[in-house]
Structure 1
Amino acid sequence: MGGVAPAQEQDLHDHASLTGSHRYTVTVLFSSSSRLARTRHLATLRRSVRLLRDFRFEQTRPEVFYGHLAEDTARLLEALHADCTGTGLSGRRILDVGGGPGYFSRAFAARDCAYVTVEPDVGEMAAAGIEVDAAVRGSGTALPFRDGVFDLTYSSNVAEHIPDPWAMGDEMLRVTRTGGLSVLSYTVWLGPFGGHETGLVPHYIGGGFARDRYTRRHGHPPKNVFGRSLFDVSCAAGLRWAQSTGAEMCGVFPRYHPRWAWWMVRVPVLREFAVSNLVIVLRKTR
């Protein structure tokens, strides 16, 4: 893995099965998460409970849910940037891939960042009536920017909504400068919130079942329709992609868990069910 110190090469090797008799090996610097002192300091039980309570407002009062999530995201990225690069966010160029109507812009403006959001859906961009100075309509899998223009790229809860999230991840790295960070955070399908508004249990029976059940009960399809705007994305697939990029992995951890529960990402089967949202932090090395 590019940018890996020799002493780190003895970290955990995780083996998981693919379909058929084939197997793959993923080398993950799980111990690198222990370096994230500022980030770990933020990961308290109190924060986890507060964010969990906010989930009930996602559909009914999105300004509350996304407003609080935006501030939490800005704090998280500020801590990650300090932990991984030794510098703050002030003056940095930041790209938010899938930023929607702009709830996150104010949190980064308060930190003196040059914030750009890219979103493919013009209706989504205008949904909240928020004016963002640098809002670009475009696809996350074909970002309309030149190579290496941003200091930090991130995507929050978008990967599970597109059929090829790793193409988006590759594009995020492409437009990140050498030495910059790329942070991909997404909802894990087998986690408790994998089915989104269709419920905590039905998606375990199947995505199609959960979609159809929701439609029967509410008289209309869910906002996130399985197979069209919601997909089965696993922890294992994300870790496999991260290892293939050649970038330095600065950290892998469950976004909404307190720091004492971060060990769950080490356990192949458990993490698919217990890690509701996986954060992958990469530092571009070339």
Structure 2
Amino acid sequence: MPVTQRLARRATLSRSLRLLGAFRFEQSDPARFYGALAEDTAAMVADLWRDAVGSPPDGRTVLDVGGGPGYFSEAFVVTGFHYIGVEPDPAEMHAGPALTSDATYVRASGTALPFADASVDVCLSSNVAEHVAQPWRMGAEMLRVTRPGGLVILSYTVWLGPFGGHETGLWHYLGGARAARRYTRRHGHPPKNNYGSSLFAVSAADGLEWARSTGALLAAFPRYHPRWAWPLAKVPVLREFLVSNLVLVLSPQTATGSRFDPR
């Protein structure tokens, strides 16, 4: 069974429009935005797990690299996962709702995860790679800590896509530094995601090249697009502008070469 079969059934135009509508509230009402994104993300990970392994995710451990202020934890706990959130910035970790008591939180960098090899079932990174100067070092760490037969799900914003500049809007097409300066002049303070320090230009081609080089790539698809638009991820150049967010799904191999081993 393809690893994306269940998710593909949910990847409708109405879902895309619903998520797009939520994006408008990222700055003004983060609970509304991140709540909708968390529910969709937990459902996505559960769908991928069920298709990959053939069993529900109940009791499985998901390590959320760059989990931020805790909006995702409740959604994953409700879905059946044991949630571990990793966040390097303590202020960011406590910027959201009260942290879920059934979850675990660790202050650490995604490029040096303080976890043993092959210690978690799922390692997730949602919209973090574009904020990391060495995103594929983080990807390598995610693969290292994931058990053979588990899943690594790395989802990131493509720089040349419409949301590549984050709050600086489409001005990033004129250059990230220029877009940041314009934002600062207009708002009187620099953007939260400042180009060159907390926001970097990561392409779809970069992610696909890294994922293929690992030998562990299972699937790659646009996260927020309806299913009929997923083939865009296979078209060079075009995907850089029309794929707003790329999902890479990988699975470390077992010693025998079997792709999926849920034990």
The verdict on a shared fold, with TM-score over 0.5 as the criterion, is yes
Instruction: Quote the Cα distance in structure 1 between the aligned partners of 2:108 and 2:3.
Output: 35
Query: Do structure 1's residue 96 and structure 2's residue 67 form an aligned pair?
Result: no
Query: Do structure 1's residue 77 and structure 2's residue 45 form an aligned pair?
Result: yes
Residue 185 of structure 1 is matched in structure 2 by 155
Instruction: Quote the Cα distance in structure 1 between the aligned partners of 2:142 and 2:231.
Output: 27
Residue 87 of structure 1 is matched in structure 2 by 55
1:104 aligns to what SS in structure 2? helix
Deviates more, 1:71-80 or 1:130-139: 130-139
| Contact residue 254 and residue 262 of structure 1 kept, 8 A | yes
Offset of residue 36 of structure 1 = 2.0
Instruction: Quote the Cα distance in structure 1 between the aligned partners of 2:79 and 2:229.
Output: 29
Point out which structure has higher relative CO (alpha carbons under 8 A, 6+ apart): 1
Offset of residue 161 of structure 1 = 0.4
| TM superposition score normalised by structure 2 | 0.94
4+ aligned runs moved over 2 Å, structure 1: none
Select which of 218, 228, 234 maps to 2:197. Answer: 228
Select which of 263, 268, 273 maps to 2:231. Answer: 263
Residue 283 of structure 1 is matched in structure 2 by 251
Query: Do structure 1's residue 150 and structure 2's residue 131 form an aligned pair?
Result: no
Distance 1:243 1:218, change over 3 A: same
Instruction: Quote the Cα distance in structure 2 between the aligned partners of 1:80 and 1:48.
Output: 18
1:130 aligns to what SS in structure 2? coil
| Contact residue 84 and residue 250 of structure 1 kept, 8 A | no
Offset of residue 112 of structure 1 = 2.3
Residue 174 of structure 2 is matched in structure 1 by 205
Instruction: Quote the Cα distance in structure 2 between the aligned partners of 1:131 and 1:185.
Output: 23
Offset of residue 252 of structure 1 = 0.6
| Contact residue 86 and residue 106 of structure 2 kept, 8 A | yes
1:268 aligns to what SS in structure 2? coil
Select which of 141, 161, 174 maps to 2:144. Answer: 174
Offset of residue 114 of structure 1 = 1.1
Offset of residue 88 of structure 1 = 1.5
| Contact residue 150 and residue 176 of structure 1 kept, 8 A | yes
Instruction: Quote the Cα distance in structure 2 between the aligned partners of 1:87 and 1:215.
Output: 49
Offset of residue 35 of structure 1 = 5.3
Count of residues in Structure 1 that have an aligned counterpart in Structure 2:
252
Alignment of 1:16-55 (within 5 A): 36-55=4-23
Offset of residue 130 of structure 1 = 1.9
Instruction: Quote the Cα distance in structure 2 between the aligned partners of 1:43 and 1:253.
Output: 11
1:204 aligns to what SS in structure 2? helix
1:57 aligns to what SS in structure 2? coil
- Measured against aligned partners, the alpha-carbon deviations of 1:21-69 in whole angstroms (never above 9, x if no partner) come to xxxxxxxxxxx9x652101011000000000011111111111100010
> What is the letter of the counterpart of residue 155 of structure 1?
S
Instruction: Quote the Cα distance in structure 2 between the aligned partners of 1:35 and 1:220.
Output: 44
| TM superposition score normalised by structure 1 | 0.86
RMSD, aligned α-carbons: 1.1
Instruction: Quote the Cα distance in structure 1 between the aligned partners of 2:165 and 2:39.
Output: 25
Residue 217 of structure 1 is matched in structure 2 by 186
Offset of residue 91 of structure 1 = 0.9
Instruction: Quote the Cα distance in structure 2 between the aligned partners of 1:105 and 1:230.
Output: 24
1:59 aligns to what SS in structure 2? coil
